[in-house]
Amino acid sequence: MKCEDCNTKLNYFALLESFWFGFKQVKCLRCDSIFEHTSFNRILGGIIVFISTLVSNMTYIGEKALLQTFFVMLLSMFISSLITPLIMKFKKIKTKIHEK
Residue 33 C-beta: closest distance to Zn ion, Å: 5
SS3 32: coil
Q: How far out from the chain centre does Cα 97 lie? A: 26
Residues in 19-58 at the binding interface with Zn ion, rule: CB under 5 A:
28, 30-31, 33
1 binds Zn ion (CB under 5 A): no
One of 1, 5, 11, 95 touching Zn ion (CB under 5 A): 5
Buried b (16+ CB within 10 A) or exposed e, 35-52: bebeeebeebbeebeeeb
Name which of 24 and 30 has its Cβ closer to Zn ion.
30
